[in-house]
Structure 1
């Protein structure tokens, strides 16, 4: 079973896309942010910049999926922090953080196939299994966490489900677009997940 190293990290799912709005499975299809998603990325960046401005240093580097929707979100967060704090947090692209491939289901409505994909080992034609996604996500994040620097990972919803599996947390939990999470190991509960409220951001 894949397991995540017990070190703190931050996670941010990309902002909204038109396919998100329509309830379509995106997977590895490279769909850009829509106007709402661009604004969500700005708000997430402002909320995180407020943490730096308050004297905290929540993370010291940003790792992003190569897909446009995630990379645009990551670059926006980087720019918001630099604008607010005159601090440029290093950003790098990590191909292992790309979203799962849903094969023939990409571009179709999220439907009855999705839960069996997570829970029963069902794999759509030409898709990546949930087991393989979990192993890839855990391997990528464990490599990142081997550094002493705390990272912000900007990636995807299904990939975070794989990470939840590797953290021994309930898996089928939907992650909202562009809401920052702080994840901290806890000896009693396994992991604490703190949601950073966007309404705290200065607009």
Structure 2
């Protein structure tokens, strides 16, 4: 089993989409950000750019899911940092950071099946199981550490982050808000997650 490297990283879930607002399962369906999501992405970009204005380099590169709701969010962060500091961070995509495939459940309301999917007793038809998601998420994050000299910023999805939470030994089924940056740090007593408040 692939192990998550015990190195700090930043994570940002994409901004809101219409399907998020309607509580529909998105999975791999490539839904764009809505107006709220674009506003959230811009705000996250400003929040993160402020960290760089102090002269710090909290992360050195951005690695994103290629799905447009995540990649556009990542572009807003990159551009905000560049506009405010002159620093242009490299932004790349990684296919393994895509959201889980929920198969036939995509476009349908989220339901009680989600908990059984996490515990491995249910996989939607034509969907991806939780262990596979967790494994590719770990592999993508480990690659992201190698893609730059410092910590990466990962821009991706809610279910994928649940896979990373599982890899960190944390409670799994915790909903991460849209476009709210967090820092993950390995500590002696386990991983610490700290949201960057607005």
Structure 1 and Structure 2 fold alike (TM over 0.5): yes
Q: TM-score range by the shorter chain?
A: over 0.9
Displacement, 1:191? 0.8
Please say if residues 184 and 191 of structure 2, whose CA atoms lie closer than 8 Å, have aligned partners that are also in contact.
yes
Note the 1:77-156 alignment, pairs <5 A.
77-146=77-146, 148-156=149-157
DSSP-derived class of the 1:29 partner: coil
Could you give the per-residue CA deviations for residues 93-118 of structure 1, whole angstroms, max 9, x where no partner exists?
A: 11110100000000000001111000
Displacement, 1:146? 3.8
Please say if residues 120 and 130 of structure 2, whose CA atoms lie closer than 8 Å, have aligned partners that are also in contact.
no
Q: Quote the residue 2:56 is aligned against.
A: 56
For residues 43 and 65 of structure 2, the distance between their equivalents in structure 1, rounded to whole angstroms, comes to 20
Q: Quote the residue 1:170 is aligned against.
A: 171
How many corresponding residue pairs? 197
Q: Quote the residue 1:196 is aligned against.
A: 196
Displacement, 1:184? 0.6
For residues 49 and 23 of structure 1, the distance between their equivalents in structure 2, rounded to whole angstroms, comes to 30
Q: Quote the residue 1:201 is aligned against.
A: none
Q: Quote the residue 1:159 is aligned against.
A: 160
Provide runs of 4+ in structure 1 moved above 6 Å. Answer: none
Displacement, 1:145? 2.1
Please say if residues 16 and 33 of structure 2, whose CA atoms lie closer than 8 Å, have aligned partners that are also in contact.
yes
For residues 3 and 182 of structure 2, the distance between their equivalents in structure 1, rounded to whole angstroms, comes to 19
DSSP-derived class of the 1:55 partner: coil
Could you give the per-residue CA deviations for residues 28-53 of structure 1, whole angstroms, max 9, x where no partner exists?
A: 00000000000000000000000000
For residues 108 and 98 of structure 1, the distance between their equivalents in structure 2, rounded to whole angstroms, comes to 19
Displacement, 1:149? 2.2
Give the structure-1-normalised TM-score: 0.94
Please say if residues 120 and 129 of structure 2, whose CA atoms lie closer than 8 Å, have aligned partners that are also in contact.
no
Note the 1:17-96 alignment, pairs <5 A.
17-96=17-96
Give the structure-2-normalised TM-score: 0.97
Q: Please, which runs of 5 or more residues in structure 2 have no aligned partner?
A: none
DSSP-derived class of the 1:25 partner: coil
Q: Please, which runs of 5 or more residues in structure 1 have no aligned partner?
A: 199-203
Displacement, 1:2? 4.5
